[in-house]
Amino acid sequence: MITASHPRAEGGGLSGLLLVALPVALLIWLVLWPVLQAVVGTVYFPGKGFSLSSYAFFFTDAYSLRNLWLTLWVTALTSALRVAVAMPIALYLRFRSGSIAALVQSLALFPLFVPSVLVAYAFIRVLGPNGIVDTVLVALGLPKLPTPYLTPAGPIIGLVWERLPLTLLLLLSGLGRVSIASVDAARDLGAGGLTIFSRIILPRIQSSIIVALAFNVLGLFSAFTLPYLLGPASPEMMGPYMQRTFSDNADPLNATTQAVITFAFCAAFGLVYVRAIARGRRGPA
Amino acid sequence: MAQVRLSGIAKTFGKVTALDAMDLVIDDGELVCLLGPSGSGKSTLLRIIGGFETPSAGAIAIDGVDVTGLPPERRPTAMVFQSHALWSHMTVHGNIAFGLKLRRLPKSEIRDRVERVLDLVGLAGYGGRLPSQLSGGQQQRVALARSLVIEPKILLLDEPFASLDQHLRERLRDEVRDIQQRLGITAVFVTHGQDEALAISDRIVVLADGRMQQVGRPGEIYAEPKTAFVAGFIGAMNMLDGLLADGEIAASGLRLAAEGSGPARLAIRPEDIALSEPADGRAATVRRMIDFGAHVVIDSALADGTHLRIQTDKAIRVAPGERIGIRVDRWTVFTEDGEPRRYRSDTLRSFRDVRYA
């Protein structure tokens, strides 16, 4: 009698769990446990009991709210700009080949290999007061332009440039699922470039755009180096604000409260990311 | 009337010549197959007709109008792609109606035309489904419907059934031929399947290395190949390297009457060989027998070990290692610089009489 052997599902499941055990353990130890500690540390005070006073302070303090608002709109604008700048480059790289496309790809990915501090100082040298742009304008007998250095525009320009490659790679990954034949088919039926983009390409890379935006928001909301070096002193983004509250003001409770609030915003966008991934896995883009 | 005229079409990619100076006229209502191996330039030629590639030289005219510089969206053509290229986020109805919506037709007319074309391709009632809910064959039918619904003058099909299984491919190619004839539409069909080309074409254009090898009706291409390449590519063929001398061609121990001198290639179709008593220059050794049900193919070895395939009656049974005699009824001899010469055994006597008189 011939019998077929069946791999035991339980064994496969156990192997899978063992494979993820180490990263999950690290996640619990290095992320979830400190988060839990931070949350508990901001709402429970030994000997005094529960209190939401630090949160009440944050959400009633005008300066904290201005910082939160600045962080929110800088994050939103930078994310949108990154996608807006990366999209045409991604479309070009997806549907063109050759030496010029290779050059464009190299230039677009170059910021990936430049540390944030270098970006900041390069920015200051080029766009800062008496920087290269000013020097050129003066040499041409033109008036100097208002510098974006130490204004909200400073970190926005720096942050857009710094993380453009990541957005580009995410969009390229999504566009990889849009076949050239499907674009050709639309052209063949009479569609122009804008129609192809809005009705054929865009609906099929929605998940990738959401993922790119979510990744951007997660990185931007707690960005430190560029907002610290290029941004205004007041209001300031949450990253520098937290650092200053903790170090300069020696106020760990409020710094932790700011961190928990920042984490809550990031977690919300993290959920958007997880949902987008789940949606992408359920069906074709 | 929808006639396509290609005049001196050439295409180069860098230093590579994909197509070399092609002239071809495809008549109204004709179905022409571009047949060739991978890299022969058949898809490039189709894409040039569709406007997806610009020729490096030459001109294309459709109904006498030069369309060489026009993009695909401004040509009276529609293409069915090998990969179906359906838009997965749209329903079947959405896919088919896309071209009609671009033409800003009234909704009622769009609905009617989509329903009519779905009926034509045998998918009535499937309009609400997503492409992912259809089989490969159904998806290809939707792709065909999407192209037909805009009523193009020229239908271009780029290996549309390559990803389907043999049975479905045969059924769909018959359906496409039927629809093409019913609508009287001019069609250009790219395939690397010789059976497919022989089955549905009015004419076949055989391509190799970016050059047209032969243009003709399926039967003509099969029976009278003009080059050794066409002979070897279309249908099953035994191609043997031989030497012409003394009114004969000697190839792998096989000797057949033929004119000329010098090196040549001997082409014999398996069905043009019959079994007989072994004789000098007319014998082979059986390697194996393949039973196809309707007929039998004997894979045999000639004196120097060269394979010779023989197609014979299904009642024939031979054993591996058995020595068999062969009688060749028809053969063609190709020389480097001459027209192919065709011979038949029933005219051999007269030929030999003339040769040795």
Note the pLDDT tens digit of each residue in A113-151: 888 888 888 888 888 888 899 899 999 998 888 888 888
Please report which confidence band the pLDDT of residue A11 belongs to, taking 50, 70 and 90 as the band edges: low
- CB-based contact, A139 to chain B, within 8 Å: no
User: Which residue, B85, B89, B83, B131, is CA-closest to A206?
Assistant: B89
- What range defines the domain where residue B91 resides? 4-228
CATH number at residue B272: 2.40.50.140
DSSP A147: P
In this structure, what are the phi and psi dihedrals at residue B206, rounded to the nearest 5 degrees? -90, 125
Q: Which residues lie below 8 Å from residue A211, measured CB to CB, with a gap of 6+? A: A170, A174, A273, A276, A277, A280
Q: Which residues from A are below 8 Å from B83, CB to CB?
A: 179, 181
Residues B221 and B343 in one domain: no
What confidence score (pLDDT) does residue B283 get? Answer: 86
Q: Closest residue of A to B82, CA-based?
A: A181
User: CB-based contact (8 Å) between A130 and chain B?
Assistant: no
Q: Count Cβ atoms below 10 Å from residue A273 Cβ, excluding itself.
A: 18
Task: Indicate if the pLDDT at residue B347 is higher than 80.
Answer: no
Residues B321-353 as b or e (16 or more Cβ within 10 Å = b): eeebebebebbbbbbeeeebbebeeeeeeeeee
Collect all residues with Cβ–Cβ distance below 8 Å to B5 and sequence separation of at least 6: B24, B25, B26, B60, B61, B62, B64
Calpha distance B267→B228 (Å, rounded): 8
Question: Which CATH number fits the domain that encloses residue B202?
Answer: 3.40.50.300
Minimal CA separation from B176 to chain A, in Å:
19
Is residue B264 within 8 A of residue B335, CB to CB? The reply is: yes
Residues B66 and B163 in one domain: yes
Residues B251 and B289 in one domain: yes
Which positions in chain B touch A189 (Cβ < 8 Å)? 73, 78, 98-99, 102, 146, 150
Q: Which two tokens stand for residue A142?
A: 């033109």
3-class state of residue B228 by DSSP: helix
Q: Using the beta-carbon criterion (under 8 Å), do B87 and A204 form an inter-chain contact?
A: yes
Contact (CB<8Å) A187/B132: no
Q: In whole angstroms, what is the distance from residue A206 CA to residue A248 CA?
A: 43
Interface-testing mutation among A95, A97, A179, A189, with chain B (most B C-beta atoms within 10 A): A189
Kind plus residue range of the DSSP H or E element containing B254: strand B254-257
The residue among B260, B285, B256 whose CA lies nearest residue B268 is B256
For residues B274 and B268, the answer to whether their CB atoms sit within 8 Å is: no
Write down the mean pLDDT value for chain B: 89
Task: Verify whether the Cβ–Cβ distance B83 to A181 is below 8 Å.
Answer: yes
- Measure the CA angle with vertex B275, ends B274 and B279; round to 5°: 115
Q: How confident is the model at residue A59 (pLDDT cuts 50, 70, 90)?
A: very high
What residues make up the domain containing A109?
A: 53-282
Nearest Cβ partner for B72 among A188, A199, A204: A188
Which residues in chain A are contacts of B132 at CB distance < 8 A?
283-284
Residue A227 within any structural domain of the chain: yes
- Please answer yes or no on whether A188 and B50 come within 8 Å at the CB atom: yes
In B, minimum Cα distance to A284 occurs at B88
Mark which of B228, B249, B269 sits at the end of a domain: B228
The predicted pLDDT at position A280 comes to 65
Task: Report the DSSP beta bridge partners of residue A18.
Answer: none
B87 — contact with chain A (CB < 8 Å)? yes
pLDDT in tens, A262-285: 999 888 888 888 887 777 665 443
Q: Nearest-CA distance from B162 to chain A in Å? A: 15
A16/B144: higher pLDDT: B144
Nearest chain A Cα to B81, which residue?
Answer: A181
Q: How many domains does chain B have?
A: 2
The CATH number for A220's domain is: 1.10.3720.10
Shared domain for B67 and B143, answered yes or no, is yes
CA distance B295 to B271: 10
Residue B97 has pLDDT above 90, yes or no: yes
Q: How many CB atoms lie within 10 A of CB B182?
A: 9
- The torsion of the CA quartet A194, A196, A202, A208, rounded to 10 degrees, works out to -120
Chain-chain contact of A188 with B77 (C-beta, under 8 angstroms): yes
Q: Is the pLDDT of residue A12 over 80?
A: no
* Confidence tier at A56 by pLDDT (50, 70, 90): very high
Whether the predicted pLDDT of B166 surpasses 90: no
Same domain? For B188 and B291 the reply is no
d(Cα B250, Cα B23) in Å, to the nearest integer? Answer: 38
Report the alpha-carbon distance of residue A240 to residue A226 in Å, rounded. Answer: 10
Place of tokens 């001196």: B8
Residue at a domain's end among B228, B252, B278: B228
> Which pLDDT belongs to residue A205?
92
Q: Provide the pLDDT for residue A47.
A: 84
Local structure of residue A9 (DSSP, 8 states)? H
A46 touches chain B (CB under 8 A): no
Instruction: Note the pLDDT of residue A91.
Output: 95
Rounded to a whole number, what is the distance in Å from the CA of A95 to chain B's nearest CA?
13
In this complex, the residue of B52, B83, B150 whose CB is nearest that of residue A189 is B150
Query: Chain B closest CA to A166's CA: distance in Å?
Result: 26
Q: Is B146 on the interface with A (CB under 8 A)?
A: yes
> Does the ipTM exceed 0.85?
no
- DSSP label at B75? S
Residue pair B88/B130 in contact (Cβ under 8 Å)? The answer is: yes
Same domain, B292 and B175: no
- Provide the number of structural domains found in chain A: 1
Give the model's confidence band at A69: pLDDT under 50 very low, under 70 low, under 90 confident, else very high: very high
**Among candidates A187, A195, A200 on the partner chain, residue whose Cβ is nearest the Cβ of B87:** A200
Q: How many Å lie between the alpha carbon of A69 and the closest alpha carbon of chain B?
A: 37
> Residue A223 — pLDDT band, cuts 50, 70, 90?
confident
> Could you tell me if B300 and B310 are in contact, meaning their C-beta atoms sit under 8 angstroms apart?
yes
Mean pLDDT, range A203-230, rounded to an integer: 87
Q: Which of B102, B105, B148, B158 to mutate to test the interface with A (most CBs of A within 10 A)?
A: B102
| Nearest residue, CB atoms, A195 vs list B82, B102, B143 | B102
Choose one of B228, B248, B279: the last residue of a domain. Answer: B228
Query: Would you state the pLDDT for residue A1?
Result: 44
* Closest-CA residue of chain A to B149: A189
- Per-residue pLDDT of B217-233, as tens digits, reads 999 999 999 999 999 99
Asked whether the predicted pLDDT for residue B352 surpasses 60, the reply is no
Residues of B in contact with A199 (CB under 8 A): 98
Interface subset of B 286-345, CB within 8 angstroms of A: none
Chain B hits for A182, Cβ within 8 Å:
85-87
B74 in the same domain as B120: yes
**A156 within domain boundaries:** yes
For A22, the 3-state DSSP assignment is helix
Q: What is the pLDDT of residues A185-197, one digit of tens each?
A: 999 999 999 999 9
Scanning every residue of chain B, which has its alpha carbon at the shortest distance from the alpha carbon of A282?
Answer: B132
Same domain, B224 and B240: no
Residue whose pair of structure tokens reads 């074309």 in the numeric block: B117
Please indicate whether, in this complex, the C-beta atoms of A284 and B89 are within 8 angstroms of each other.
yes
Identify the pLDDT of residue A10.
Answer: 52
Q: Is the dihedral of CA B217, B218, B221, B223 positive or negative?
A: negative
